[in-house]
């Protein structure tokens, strides 16, 4: 039986692109869903997200039972979880984009605006950049991926990052622990590099 993969639709993700990329990476049973029960029963969960952190947090919290279902599936039952862009930022405890908003609180950190340390540095951080691995994180390979974001996760323990990139200084590119991983870059827009990452996520048995 093929796996049940839940791609969470909370009105804030580029769902079609992520769905297309998962399919290209070999996923078969992808359910695009806003239903907490489907997420709770899923074998694997993907949380996309583009736009503002606070807006995304409110939209996710606005789905009845969804935050609790994510906790049940990801924390209690250790289902493999992937957060992409704002979906990754939501894994952090706090966000300061457009006011302070609570995240899912799975990873100790804060989502803060990128600040241009040099006037020639452009924000948003937009384009292809390095994914430099820190230690030996699961699933990730070093390479170049597409980033598109104006806010980033600042980890309470910067040494806990899975990967970093550089935009006028180190920027968190990937975070995770146990059965969860979050990437600031867009695997669904990173051509071969991104699709092979998604393939590894689909095969992941943490």
Partner 1 sequence: MTVRTRIIPCLDVANGRVVKGVNFVELQDAGDPVEQARVYDAAEADELCFLDITASHEERDTLLHIVERTAAVCFMPLTVGGGVRAPEDARRLLLAGADKVAVNSAAVSRPELVADMAERFGSQCVVGSIDARLTGSGWEIFTHGGRRATGIDALAHAQRLASLGAGELLVTSMDRDGTKDGYDLQLIRAIADSVPVPVIASGGVGTLDHLVAGVAEGHADAVLAASIFHYGTHSIAEARAALAGAGIPVRGVKNVG
Note whether 141 binds partner 1 by CB under 8 A: no
Q: Which residues are catalytic?
A: 85, 186, 188
Q: Closest distance between partner 1 and the C-beta of residue 52, in Å?
A: 6
- Which positions from 46 through 65 interact with partner 1, judged by CB under 8 A? 50-52, 55
Q: Closest distance between partner 1 and the C-beta of residue 11, in Å?
A: 10
If the CB atoms of residues 78 and 126 are measured against partner 1, the closer one turns out to be: 126
* Alpha carbon distances (Å) from 57 to 38, 100, 127, 149: 19, 11, 25, 16
Note whether 167 binds partner 1 by CB under 8 A: yes
Q: Closest distance between partner 1 and the C-beta of residue 197, in Å?
A: 11
10 Å CB burial of residue 193 (0-12, 13-18, 19+) is: middle
Q: Which stretch binds partner 1 (CB under 8 A): 26-34, 38-46, 59-67, 181-189?
A: 181-189
CA distance 55 to 185: 19
In the chain, the N- to C-terminal Cα span, in Å, equals 20
């Amino acid at each position: 039986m093929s796996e049940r993969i839940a791609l969470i639709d909370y009105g804030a993700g580029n769902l079609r692109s992520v769905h297309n990329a998962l399919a290209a990476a070999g996923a078969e049973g992808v359910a695009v869903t806003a239903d907490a029960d489907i997420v709770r029963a899923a074998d694997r969960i993907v949380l996309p997200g583009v736009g503002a952190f606070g807006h995304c947090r409110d939209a996710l919290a606005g789905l009845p039972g969804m935050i609790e279902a994510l906790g049940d599936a990801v924390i209690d039952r250790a289902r493999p979880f992937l957060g992409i862009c704002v979906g990754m930022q939501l894994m952090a405890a706090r966000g300061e984009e457009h006011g302070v908003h609570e995240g899912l609180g799975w990873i100790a950190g804060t989502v803060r605006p990128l600040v241009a340390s040099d006037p020639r540095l452009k924000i948003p951080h937009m384009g292809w950049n390095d994914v430099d691995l820190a230690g030996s994180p699961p699933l990730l390979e070093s390479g170049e991926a597409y980033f598109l974001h104006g806010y980033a996760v600042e980890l309470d323990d910067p040494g806990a990052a899975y990967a970093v990139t550089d935009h006028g200084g180190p920027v968190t590119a990937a975070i995770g622990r146990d059965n969860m991983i979050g990437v600031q870059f867009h695997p669904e827009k990173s051509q071969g590099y991104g699709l092979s990452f998604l393939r590894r996520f689909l095969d992941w048995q943490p």
